[in-house]
A and B are shown apart, each in its own frame.
Chain A
């Protein structure tokens, strides 16, 4: 296997030379035609035409209980019902992405409406109705459904996405001695990923071999989780996720559907299809935890930040180590010699909390980037000038250099394009009829990571390339960028490169998560392609660096040889692997950006509309301008939702997730979204990966809600510390004079 370990900065590569001219181009999606014509099968759409059975989940409608007995007789007596699966192995929520363990119910109800059994029937409708006939007898247990009143019980988890605590110096002492002290508490509600494709699985047994089609992000981990959940060896399980209708972190760990479908299929002896209903998805997968965040900043009188603390309380279920890492960017984004970032997990008996798009930044920067706006105002400094005054030169926590940090360039470019100079200099001074108008900005950052990943490239005798990896494309554009990387590296037109993804029988990959997918999987394709070029050079007896590849020909000196000739009627297969190395430790790597928002707040009702939204970002090399820009649009839209609408409501009396459908859990609709502008600056980060690229998928959600909040303040003079900014929070402080007249 050809392996590249990222121990030092990458030099000039074939991607920089761009001989084939496809890298970075905004080419159409590789699988776009299949998707728009309905020919890209999603998880539930496999095994069409085979004799299958259908599953339906039985929910346990109580917050916390021990199951005394389950009476399945009535359900089983219903014609068409094949089996009712019960027992310890029933998965009650999605698994965490950290390890192969899965949450099995073992006779208990851990959260309201968790799965307690699975009905399998000849038809979906029969299974659904029979699910109502299963009778469960509970012994209720005491449950806690909110953090309030229990925050002092918060635990420091060592099983989270970052260290629970990051400290430097003595924050308390430095803060007490600061000339200026800022101390605010922000709250963000629980959120749901609400991917368009619900969690769904089809499971089929052939003897002791299990094949599962499911909607997953991390196949090589997920296959182990399925094996664990079903109680078989992972070598007996094959998992396929060729097309995925969105994941946003909610499909990092396996969903209960995969294990339940497999258990059901084993019991009835035929393949079982199980799609979670939208209500199940909201109540039986995972969610983002609500947060209470205290931000304290010490500064000098002239506006220089000297110390910074960001302390977060967030819930998770008993025994769960994951926490929403709200302080993740605070660790390196802001200056200060004395620093304190903490996270405490308060145990609640509500659906498990886990990763949702940009874990940490998505909530933490709603707080810190609002705090910076308020602090700048206290100093009477423009928020942009304030950020410039406080731009650290190196990682303030670890003292290592930034691999590349062009935050201020993003801010300046954004300010120019947006017309920041026209911002109302005093809040609540611009009124257009019934609307109060304001501008706001915020920084964006997203920590970068590279994961081990491998890919195979098979060159067929006629000079076509096929990329094969277990990597997933969750709608981000992975198929397309892998095709582009292979085409550029190998000098092939795009239509001579095929990509096979989403199958654990292919080389193991990083999977999709944490915005690492493009760089990790892409780098493995880079490494494999380099190996092919080396082999071509060896066969042509030239130095690889002198070889130019274009349109299926190798050009060496004055020779031009078609690949088919070099391949000598044989298939050439190589595998490439990327591994993170020293550059992950000796540089601080992140993507950066800046958001600018114009909002209008209705003076009568407090309804807030985003009128303009601009994001300027840098994330190293952009592999495909179109798919990268689309990722940013998505982030911006999420930011609108987080600022103004989204809130997963838990009834503290029972633990019920009250708004468990898309009519009542409000995500932005078209009418909420203005024309979006995204500008990605030309950039390279040679420390990040052989591609010199960094993660982009989550950058644009980081901070965008704060830009909107800051704009609401600029429009109204009202600061909201409790997201989302709904009208009830603005109404009491809006001007008396309603209507357009003024």
Chain B
């Protein structure tokens, strides 16, 4: 760990002006600093900021403070009742101890679990732009099959963000100059392209203050996470689904995917193709065809393509059954 300065932000306004790297739960940042994958000169501790509340918004949704822990968020009765997919996604992630520490803002910004990113002696364009990508042609079982580039094939590891993507969450921030903005989660993350080191649209010193959920979506909520062991493993494929039926047909389907791409993946053409359809396997297959039309395996992760198809179909079958 490289020596760094430490300062504690006393209020939201000053946090961004303190010109340092924010630290919340530290469950990701500290690990990376120990390995000197991340080497901030200064840490700004934001854990004393008053961002731990979950409050109702005027339009019937919820505003989740950036410092609400993953454990508290998953256990909140409103989340469990109205946003079940989110509660389930959170509980599918990490471990009890980690969820107690991990925060909403930090979870959104956690970095990839690519092993080559974590090993400073290996080439990695995300860690060291221009050095190459160790995962291409290497061990890439956990890597992306959608939206990859020849510079980076990493995935975003969050479960929470996948559910939030399906729920059309909006990220609220405050910039260094004190101005605020609201960024739809669908516009928050970036694909790797030629600059995999830039993972989202945040500016230097821009603080996440909250995540806003719109008013609840009716329908069946599912979060299905497929992984190499029953708990405490990142998703190989995950599907967040909110599906509403009407008259035996699919009226609305919100579908987001984890483990497939550099960001929580959502493809509205998949959802449109399902609307008005009967819940039949043939129709689910067509949706999967659209989702995976451009999917590209890297060798070790080829299985993710059929796995995503099968998981999507099973989730849709489950969410539409008995309708």
- On chain B, the residues within 8 Å of A726 by CB distance are 228
- On chain A, the residues within 8 Å of B236 by CB distance are 727
CA distance A607 to B231 in the complex (A): 12
- On chain A, the residues within 8 Å of B314 by CB distance are 434, 604-605, 738-740
- On chain A, the residues within 8 Å of B303 by CB distance are 727-728, 731
Taken residue by residue from 300 to 323, chain B's Cβ proximity to chain A (1 for < 8 Å, 0 otherwise) reads as 001100110011011001100100
Q: In the bound complex, do residue B229 and residue A671 qualify as a contact, i.e. CB atoms below 8 Å apart?
A: yes
Q: In the bound complex, do residue B228 and residue A645 qualify as a contact, i.e. CB atoms below 8 Å apart?
A: yes
- On chain A, the residues within 8 Å of B217 by CB distance are none
Tell me the minimal C-beta distance from B137 to chain A in angstroms.
7
Q: In the bound complex, do residue A666 and residue B229 qualify as a contact, i.e. CB atoms below 8 Å apart?
A: yes
A406 on the B face (CB < 8 A): no
Cross-interface CB contact of B2 among A113, A129, A434, A644, cutoff 8 Å: A129
B3 on the A face (CB < 8 A): yes
- On chain B, the residues within 8 Å of A568 by CB distance are none
Number of interface residues of A (CB under 8 A): 44
B6 on the A face (CB < 8 A): no
B34 on the A face (CB < 8 A): yes
B293 on the A face (CB < 8 A): no
CA distance A62 to B226 in the complex (A): 34
CA distance A655 to B9 in the complex (A): 44
Q: Evaluate whether A128 and B115 lie within 8 angstroms (CB atoms) in the complex, with A651-B138, A668-B229, A738-B314 already known.
A: no
B75 on the A face (CB < 8 A): no
Instruction: List which A706-742 residues lie within 8 A (CB) of chain B.
Output: 726-728, 731-732, 737-741
B122 on the A face (CB < 8 A): yes
Q: In the bound complex, do residue B307 and residue A605 qualify as a contact, i.e. CB atoms below 8 Å apart?
A: yes
- On chain B, the residues within 8 Å of A132 by CB distance are 2, 36
- On chain B, the residues within 8 Å of A434 by CB distance are 314
- On chain A, the residues within 8 Å of B307 by CB distance are 605-606, 727-728, 731
Cross-interface CB contact of B115 among A659, A672, A731, cutoff 8 Å: A659
Taken residue by residue from 260 to 302, chain B's Cβ proximity to chain A (1 for < 8 Å, 0 otherwise) reads as 0000000000000000000001000000000000000000001
- On chain A, the residues within 8 Å of B141 by CB distance are 728
Instruction: List which A45-70 residues lie within 8 A (CB) of chain B.
Output: 59, 61-62
B139 on the A face (CB < 8 A): yes
Q: Evaluate whether A605 and B310 lie within 8 angstroms (CB atoms) in the complex, with A129-B1, A731-B303 already known.
A: yes
Q: In the bound complex, do residue A604 and residue B115 qualify as a contact, i.e. CB atoms below 8 Å apart?
A: no
Instruction: List which B115-171 residues lie within 8 A (CB) of chain A.
Output: 115-116, 118-122, 134, 137-139, 141
B303 (CB) vs chain A CBs: closest residue = A728
CA distance A645 to B233 in the complex (A): 11
CA distance A649 to B141 in the complex (A): 11
Q: Do most interface residues of chain A lie in helix, strand or loop, or is the interface mixed?
A: loop
- On chain B, the residues within 8 Å of A165 by CB distance are none
Q: In the bound complex, do residue A645 and residue B229 qualify as a contact, i.e. CB atoms below 8 Å apart?
A: yes
Tell me the minimal C-beta distance from B52 to chain A in angstroms.
27
Taken residue by residue from 599 to 617, chain A's Cβ proximity to chain B (1 for < 8 Å, 0 otherwise) reads as 0000011110100000000
Tell me the minimal C-beta distance from A662 to chain B in angstroms.
9
Q: Evaluate whether A125 and B1 lie within 8 angstroms (CB atoms) in the complex, with A604-B310, A663-B113, A669-B230 already known.
A: yes
Tell me the minimal C-beta distance from A598 to chain B in angstroms.
16
Tell me the minimal C-beta distance from A194 to chain B in angstroms.
14
Tell me the minimal C-beta distance from A643 to chain B in angstroms.
12
Instruction: List which A652-687 residues lie within 8 A (CB) of chain B.
Output: 653-654, 656, 658-661, 663-664, 666, 668-672
Q: In the bound complex, do residue B230 and residue A671 qualify as a contact, i.e. CB atoms below 8 Å apart?
A: yes
Tell me the minimal C-beta distance from B223 to chain A in angstroms.
14
B120 (CB) vs chain A CBs: closest residue = A61
CA distance A527 to B8 in the complex (A): 66
Instruction: List which B208-257 residues lie within 8 A (CB) of chain A.
Output: 226-233, 236
Q: In the bound complex, do residue A741 and residue B321 qualify as a contact, i.e. CB atoms below 8 Å apart?
A: yes
Q: In the bound complex, do residue B138 and residue A741 qualify as a contact, i.e. CB atoms below 8 Å apart?
A: no
Q: In the bound complex, do residue A740 and residue B228 qualify as a contact, i.e. CB atoms below 8 Å apart?
A: no
Cross-interface CB contact of A651 among B3, B139, B302, cutoff 8 Å: B139
- On chain A, the residues within 8 Å of B302 by CB distance are 728
CA distance A658 to B35 in the complex (A): 15
- On chain B, the residues within 8 Å of A732 by CB distance are 306
Q: In the bound complex, do residue A604 and residue B311 qualify as a contact, i.e. CB atoms below 8 Å apart?
A: yes
Tell me the minimal C-beta distance from A121 to chain B in angstroms.
12
- On chain A, the residues within 8 Å of B3 by CB distance are 129
- On chain B, the residues within 8 Å of A661 by CB distance are 118
Instruction: List which B22-53 residues lie within 8 A (CB) of chain A.
Output: 34-36
CA distance A738 to B311 in the complex (A): 8
CA distance A64 to B269 in the complex (A): 50
Instruction: List which B1-16 residues lie within 8 A (CB) of chain A.
Output: 1-3
- On chain B, the residues within 8 Å of A672 by CB distance are 229-231
Q: Among the interface residues B1, B2, B139, B229, which one has the most CB atoms of the partner chain A within 10 A?
A: B229
Q: In the bound complex, do residue A740 and residue B121 qualify as a contact, i.e. CB atoms below 8 Å apart?
A: no
Cross-interface CB contact of B122 among A644, A654, A668, cutoff 8 Å: A654
What are 25 A-B pairs with beta-carbon distances under 8 A? A59-B121, A128-B1, A129-B1, A129-B2, A129-B36, A132-B36, A604-B311, A644-B229, A651-B134, A651-B138, A653-B138, A656-B122, A658-B139, A659-B115, A659-B139, A664-B113, A672-B231, A727-B236, A727-B303, A731-B306, A738-B314, A739-B313, A739-B318, A740-B314, A741-B317
Chain A residues in contact with chain B, CB under 8 A? 59, 61-62, 113, 125, 128-129, 132, 279, 434, 604-607, 609, 644-645, 649, 651, 653-654, 656, 658-661, 663-664, 666, 668-672, 726-728, 731-732, 737-741
Query: Contacts A607-B226, A668-B229 given; 8 further ones with Cβ under 8 A?
Result: A61-B122, A605-B314, A653-B138, A654-B122, A658-B139, A664-B113, A669-B230, A670-B231
